[in-house]
Amino acid sequence: MKIKEWLKTLIFYEILIGMKQTMQHLLRYRPITLEYPHIKKPLPSNYRGMLALLKYDDDTEKCVGCDLCEAACPSRVIRVVSAEVPGEPTKRFAKEYYMDMTRCLFCGMCVQACPVDALGMTQEYEWAVYDKRNLQLNKEQLLAIGDRAFPVKEKRLEFQHPNVAYFNVSFKDIPEKEF
């Protein structure tokens, strides 16, 4: 019995058993490595990536400057400066819109708080920069991200539902509904 144990110690029996298992695994399985920059892993449909401001199909901005996204953001990433449309005191718009993406939690609460669906979460995740000041985005940059991520844009609400255009007195250039 002692000779058998001495022989196992001499030929490193435990290491050979482990190497046998490793070789079986190595020869049986194929690698699953992706060539990352060229082949990207598909993301789930509910992935929350970079935020974007959206537009209507006539290239007007959806944001009405209500500041609800700013109020809903738990990390205070968003800053909105709203103003009134000249000549129409009942209409507002976002004069300035800023996001500090270095502090964003990507929670999506700002998207859920928006009453006009002016914000969207994109599938973009490649935002490595050398200077973190490049991640402080303004309104034009956020609109460009929205144009790139959401190429199909919806119609304005007035054009989606003719009854809204008929009863809405603030839009004078929209034709009335035909009966």
Closest CA to 52 of 127, 1, 131: 127
Q: Is 104 annotated as contributing to ligand binding?
A: yes
CA-CA distance, 32 to 11, in Å (whole number)?
34
Q: Is 153 annotated as contributing to ligand binding?
A: no
Distances, alpha carbon 3 to alpha carbons 9, 17, 29, 30, in Å: 10, 19, 38, 41
Q: Is 63 annotated as contributing to ligand binding?
A: yes
Q: Is 99 annotated as contributing to ligand binding?
A: no
SS3 state of residue 147: helix
Q: Is 115 annotated as contributing to ligand binding?
A: no
E strands in 113-169: 119-121, 136-137
Q: In the numeric block, which tokens belong to residue 87? A: 């000549």
Q: Is 48 annotated as contributing to ligand binding?
A: no
Give binding residues for [4Fe-4S] cluster as ranges: 63, 66, 69, 73, 104, 107, 110, 114
Give binding residues as ranges: 63, 66, 69, 73, 104, 107, 110, 114
